[in-house]
Structure formats: C-alpha cells, structure tokens
Amino acid sequence: MTRPGAASDLGVGKVIFEHIYPATGKPNGTVTLAGAAEIDRAVEAARAAQGEWISMTVDRRRDLMIDLADIVHDHLDELARLNVFDYGVPISFAGTALLLERFLRHFAGYADKPHGVSTPVNGSFDVNLIEREPYGIIGVITPWNGALAVAASCVAPALAAGNAVILKPSELAPFAALRFGELCDRAGLPTGLVSVAPADAEGGDALVRHPGIGKIAFTGGGATARKVLAAAAANLTPVVTELGGKSANIIFDDADLDLAATLSAHQGPLMQSGQSCACASRILVQEAVYDAFVDKFVGVVAGARVGDPMDPATTFGPVISQAAADRILDTIETAVSNGTGQLLLGGNRIGGDLADGYYIEPTVFGGVDNASTLAQEETFGPVVSVMRFRDEQEAVQIANSTRYGLNAFVQTTDLGRAHRVARRLEAGSVWINQFSDISPQGPYGGYKQSGSGRTGGVEGLNEFRQVKNIRIGMR
C-alpha cells in the first residue's frame, strides 16, 4: 500500500515510494527504495566488479569510460526529460546530463596517465615509490537537486581512480540516476561497478554504515552531513562533503549593471527556483548604484517565464514538494512580520493553472540586515536578499559574515579590484562577472560549513585515491 509522497513498508524488506511531480502535485511513478539488504547485495557485486575493473589494463578502462560518455551523449535529451520529471527543473535548465558527459570524457583521460612518483630518500639509495590506489567502493550520496551533477563530479573521477561506486540518489529524484545506471551496463562496464540504489534516509544510513565501503562522498545539507559523519565514525569510514551555501554576489559601482542584473537573477531566484547550492542569495550592492541595480534586477526577475517545466520557453519552475513550499512561504512570512527588509517582489504561492504545482513567486527583499535569519539561513527557494555596502572593506566583511563558504560572485570591471576582493573572500569558488559554471577542470567545494574536499580537477580525482608508499631496500 502506498500513499502520495510517502514511503510504506511492504513487509518484504522493500519500500515503495510514490514520487510526486512538483509541477502538478500528481503522482509520477513509483520507485522501489533500497534498504540494508539491497545495500548488502550492491556491496557484494561492487567488490567483485572492482576486482575485475582494476585488473583491466588502463587503456581498456579509459575506453570503457569513453564508451559510457558516448552513450550518455546519445541519451542527453532523454536524461534531461527525466531530470524534469525528477524535480520539475525547467528543461531549458536541465543540462546536467551534458555535465556528466563532460566529466566522463575528462576523467577517462586520467585513467591511463601516470599517477605515482619515485623519489630519493635520505641516507640511502633505496627506491621510494609513492603510488595512488583506489579506496575500493565509494558510496556516493546525492541531493535531490543534482543526481546527475553529482554522478558527474563523483562517479567519473571515482571510476577513473579504479573504484566501484554505489550511487544513492534521493527518493525525491531517482529517475535520471536510474537511467544512468542502465547506461553504465549498456556501455559494458562490469556488472555492479556502478550500482544505483535510490533510497531514503534509512537506505542512506545503511550505505554509510556498511563496513565494505571505502569512502563516502556526501552532497546535501549540513544537518544530514552531521548524521552521516556520526554514522561513518563507527567504522572510521572517511567522508568527503559538499554542502549548502549562502553565497554573496557583490555588485561594485563600476560593474556593467545590465550584465550584473541578468547574472544576479539567473544565479539567484531563477536558478532552479533558488534550489541550488550555488544560489547567490545575498546580493550586496555598492551605495551609488543600489537603486539603479535594484530596478534592473527586479525587472529581470519579474520577466521570468513561469510555467510548464517541459516547455522550452519556461525559465522558472516549481519547488520540490509541498513541504518545501510551506517552509519557503513560512520564511517569507517571518521575514515580513519581523520587518527584515522591504518586500520588493513576489512573496506568494502562484495560483491559477499552476495552483496544483508547488510554485512560489520569485521573491526579492531589499535593505536586508546581514545578521537576519533571512540572510544567514539557506532558504533553498526563490528568495534573495539585497543589501547595501559602502566600500570594498565593508563588502568583504559582509560577504564573509556567514558560516557558509561555497561560492562568491563579484561584478566589477576593475581587474585589480577583482583580484584583491577574490583573495579576501572566504569561499571555495569565486566567480568574477560569471555564473557558477562548473567544469571538470574544477576544483569545486566549500570553505567553512559548506563542506570539505573538492570535486573536479586533480584535487577531485585525489578524493577517490589513497596514497601508498613502497620502499625497496637497495643493498
């Protein structure tokens, strides 16, 4: 027996979850969630598959990863549509399958490259080898807003490093990830090298606690990360985390204001309806251009095309669930009743033809105090705060006054200022006159409570390799 949006135990160790399409509030399909028994089987299969994977020559592994990238390429449209069904992201924005293809091609190139070095040692002529080896099986836990993006940033490097992967998408967004699992089989990867196990918190916990897991790559919220780290402690399993953000977007008075307004809108409330770790939810504007910027910015945001996520013209879709809609509306109401700032745009649930879906108007507050809850807590919805600053010093001080440190954005035409400010910002990525355009060359990740470790680049690859030192005595 199932009920909308809920998981129910069928009494045979299997849990069927009824997925709700956020754009209509109607059932979309059912998914069998993995529990401890399924995780056990996935680990067993992964162990055998990893042995097979690591005994292949490096060029064979490289070619299989390229074959997988080719198959993903052939299914880009299908994966994009599945992403839409997963979480109602507008198809105009559902580009994470392309990201997956790019990461697979990039990291395939690492598979056959040298990974170790040999060095001299003090006091002898011994041979000292420093090698990098896989952990074995990586448990990859994804948030609902990015199963394919996380498959890109974690599965691709984990495979290139010689690991097997158990990919656990959220029960709220399982479809594209499940299809990716099928494509891995079709590409000819050893069976079980990539297992996709959609699960809720219970299945996720079973994965984290499994003694056969070599490392966990967790992407999600800080509260869940604390539970994952505590559970992983039982086996001292290492965990790399990619967490939330409250990113600052600093608009200096020399910025191209039209570009800054467009960028701030699409990096802010319009980006997956603000449901992105990279959402620039705090917009800091230099006093002299505050009014001019706000006019332009509110104009761009108000011009968003709200509608059916499958319509290529739509630029603004629903939030993930009824619970998320309630939480976001509560955040807005609290900010209004506390006098946190001026409500410049939005603030309501969208009705009419879209009333059954979970649509919240893109919402802009002006004159917000950075110390307020609105400015400090991750809303994960289409709500942004605009605030004023006087000079560089104050901009940096406000931007850094948060427990998060994922992204920061700077809009300026002054090259010296761009460098000066970027160096002082406490964030893993700083984007100057640019969107958060994640690339396989990365690295991407957080300072402070936005996470540990990096995805992308050689730093991202090294998250999935452990170092071994071999010393050969020369006598």
- Going by C-alpha positions, the residue among 98, 69, 99 that lies closest to residue 441 is 99
- Asked whether position 227 contacts ligand NAD by CB under 6 A, the answer is yes
Return the residue of 38, 86, 308, 378 that touches ligand NAD, per CB under 6 A. Answer: 378
Given 38, 361, 378, 426, which residue is catalytic?
378
Would you tell me how many other CB atoms lie within 10 Å of the CB of residue 437? 8
- Asked whether position 70 contacts ligand NAD by CB under 6 A, the answer is no
Residue count at the site for ligand NAD (CB under 6 A)? 29
DSSP 306: B
Backbone torsions φ then ψ of 24, nearest 5 degrees: -125, -15
Torsion angle, alpha carbons of 319, 322, 323, 327, to 10: 60
- Asked whether position 459 contacts ligand NAD by CB under 6 A, the answer is no
- Asked whether position 242 contacts ligand NAD by CB under 6 A, the answer is yes
Taking the least distance from each CB to ligand NAD, the nearer of 233 and 313 is 233
- Asked whether position 443 contacts ligand NAD by CB under 6 A, the answer is no
Minimum Å gap between C-beta 180 and ligand NAD is 15
Taking the least distance from each CB to ligand NAD, the nearer of 134 and 204 is 204
**Cα–Cα distance for residue pair 377/418, rounded to 1 Å:** 27
Per-residue x/- track, 8-37, ligand NAD (CB under 6 A): ------------------------------
Please give the radius of gyration of the chain, using alpha carbons only, rounded to the nearest integer. Answer: 23
**Cα–Cα distance for residue pair 240/233, rounded to 1 Å:** 13
- Let me know: does 85 contact 22? Beta carbons within 8 Å: no
Could you tell me the CA-to-CA distances from 16 to 35, 179, 194, 336, 391 in Å, in that order?
11, 18, 22, 40, 55
Taking the least distance from each CB to ligand NAD, the nearer of 94 and 111 is 94
- Asked whether position 219 contacts ligand NAD by CB under 6 A, the answer is yes
**Positions in 156-185 near ligand NAD (CB under 6 A):** 168, 170
Taking the least distance from each CB to ligand NAD, the nearer of 227 and 266 is 227
- Let me know: does 246 contact 404? Beta carbons within 8 Å: yes
- Let me know: does 314 contact 306? Beta carbons within 8 Å: yes
168 is annotated as an active-site residue: yes
- Asked whether position 134 contacts ligand NAD by CB under 6 A, the answer is no
Taking the least distance from each CB to ligand NAD, the nearer of 143 and 341 is 143
Given 171, 277, 279, 426, which residue is catalytic?
277
113 is annotated as an active-site residue: no
Helix (H, G, I), strand (E, B) or coil at 157: helix
Return the residue of 22, 25, 136, 143 that touches ligand NAD, per CB under 6 A. Answer: 143
Instruction: Write down the residue that tokens 């409500």 correspond to.
Output: 343
Strand-strand pairing, 15-21 and 117-119: unpaired
171 is annotated as an active-site residue: no
Could you tell me the CA-to-CA distances from 288 to 111, 255, 414 in Å, in that order?
52, 11, 16
Structure tokens at 140: 């990859």
- Asked whether position 40 contacts ligand NAD by CB under 6 A, the answer is no
Taking the least distance from each CB to ligand NAD, the nearer of 190 and 317 is 317
Backbone torsions φ then ψ of 405, nearest 5 degrees: -165, 50
- Asked whether position 140 contacts ligand NAD by CB under 6 A, the answer is no
277 is annotated as an active-site residue: yes
Helix (H, G, I), strand (E, B) or coil at 98: helix
Which of the ranges 92-100, 237-245, 342-350, 382-390 carries the binding residues for ligand NAD, by CB under 6 A? 237-245
Which residues have a catalytic role annotated? 168, 242, 277, 378
Q: Which residues make up the interface to ligand NAD (CB under 6 A)?
A: 141-146, 168, 170, 200-201, 204-205, 208, 219-221, 224, 227-228, 242-245, 277, 378, 380, 406, 446, 451
